[in-house]
Copies of this chain bind each other. A is one copy, B any other.
Amino acid sequence: MRLSYAIGRLDHTLSQAIEAAIAASGLKLAQYTTLSILAAQPSLSNAQLARRAFVRPQSMNQVLAGLERQELITRRPDAEHGRIIRMELSPRGHTLLATCDRHVEALEAAMLDGLDPEERAALSRAVARATENLRAR
């Protein structure tokens, strides 16, 4: 079987598993991803988040609207720039993300069962390198 196909199948299976793992929190996958990005790097704007997630600003805006409706983020106008609105995780956002992270970490642990530390590191490196190679085209 072609490697491309195997990667697509893994991603498909993994996405479904993560969605199931975070569904109890009421989060969609795109929302969880966005919260994760925002936790790692606070005070990003909609446009910046869109670039990080490789989607259009319009798509990211929809995700953020949902997160704000659930009061998981706050939107605060930039102090120096009149147009930019910066996002922050709310206290509820932080705790909900932490809960989801625990579930996802357990899921990843199950996914990597049977692989020793060297194999896990090699997998991470190979995935990163493959992505770089494709993006370099």
Contacts and interface: CB of A to CB of B under 8 A. Distances in A.
A113 interface: yes
Nearest to A15: B8
A130 B4 CA distance: 15
Interface of A: 2-15, 17-18, 33, 36, 54, 104, 107-108, 110-115, 119-120, 122-124, 126-131, 133-135, 137
A6 B135 contact: no
3 interchain residue pairs of minimum CB distance: A11-B11, A123-B126, A10-B131
Given A13-B135, A119-B126, 10 more contacts: A2-B36, A8-B15, A13-B131, A14-B134, A17-B134, A112-B133, A113-B133, A114-B133, A115-B129, A123-B130
> What copy number does this chain have within its complex?
2
Contacts of A14: 4, 7-8, 130, 134
Interface of chain A, helix or strand or loop or mixed?
Answer: helix
Contacts of A122: 119, 122-123, 126
Nearest to A124: B3
Contacts of A114: 129, 133
